[in-house]
């Protein structure tokens, strides 16, 4: 495995094309695509199954898929789906996961009642969420949660997502580094047919 810095690309095919990822624009996988595969155009899918199927069918040239996290361990769904579709792993990289708590531009921490995010992200921030007395609400994606919170206009709703999601969806970061471990990292793999 290689430790990859913020702007260091990883291999596989170096041809321009589309890279499939799970999530919405602003998700950790989107951020990883921009950093690790800058020559590819990122294309988001709501589920791991859809993203991996897009690679298997040839709709996308490759996929950038998270398969393991330093806090929660192996991610069973993406690992199983990669194997079931017979995709080959051509590169991998560990990336730091810095989780941000974000809400409406006028929100304060004391306004918050719920926090929305992907189940894995909520698992990485369990103690921090509990310490703030927030009710966790599962969403399909970190950035998708940020987008829904932004659209709601509700000061009591927050999302946990990467900083880029706050920028994209015009939310305010209310607390940085919500992850329970300072060494929160995720291993991403590049998969091809």
| Residue 28 designated active-site | no
Identify the active-site residue in 21, 28, 48, 188.
188
| CA gap 158, 163 in Å, rounded | 13
Gyration radius of the chain over CA positions: 16
Q: Given the residues 21, 48, 142, 186, select the one marked as catalytic.
A: 186
Q: Which helix (H) or strand (E) holds 77?
A: helix 76-84
188 part of the active site: yes
Query: 117 forms bridges with which residues in the sheet?
Result: 138
Q: H helices within 9-60, ranges in order? A: 28-36, 48-57
Question: Contact at 8 Å (CB) between 170 and 105?
Answer: yes
The residues annotated with a catalytic role in the active site are 186, 188
């Amino acid at each position: 495995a290689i430790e990859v810095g913020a702007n260091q690309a990883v291999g596989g095919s170096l041809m321009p094309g589309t890279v499939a990822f799970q999530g919405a624009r602003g998700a950790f996988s989107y951020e990883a695509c921009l950093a690790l595969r800058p020559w590819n155009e990122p294309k988001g899918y709501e589920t791991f199954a859809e993203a991996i199927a897009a690679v298997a069918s040839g709709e996308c040239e490759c996929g950038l898929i998270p398969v393991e996290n330093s806090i929660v361990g192996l991610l069973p769904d993406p690992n199983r789906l990669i194997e079931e579709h017979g995709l080959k792993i051509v590169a991998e990289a560990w990336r730091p996961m810095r989780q941000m708590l974000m809400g409406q531009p006028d929100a304060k921490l004391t306004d918050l009642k719920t926090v929305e995010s992907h189940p894995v992200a909520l698992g990485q921030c369990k103690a921090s969420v509990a310490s703030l007395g927030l009710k966790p609400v599962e969403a399909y994606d970190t950035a998708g949660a940020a987008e829904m919170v932004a659209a709601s206009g509700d000061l009591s709703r927050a999302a946990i997502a990467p900083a880029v999601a706050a920028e994209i969806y015009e939310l305010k970061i209310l607390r940085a580094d919500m992850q329970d471990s300072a060494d929160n990292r995720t291993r991403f793999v590049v998969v091809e047919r």
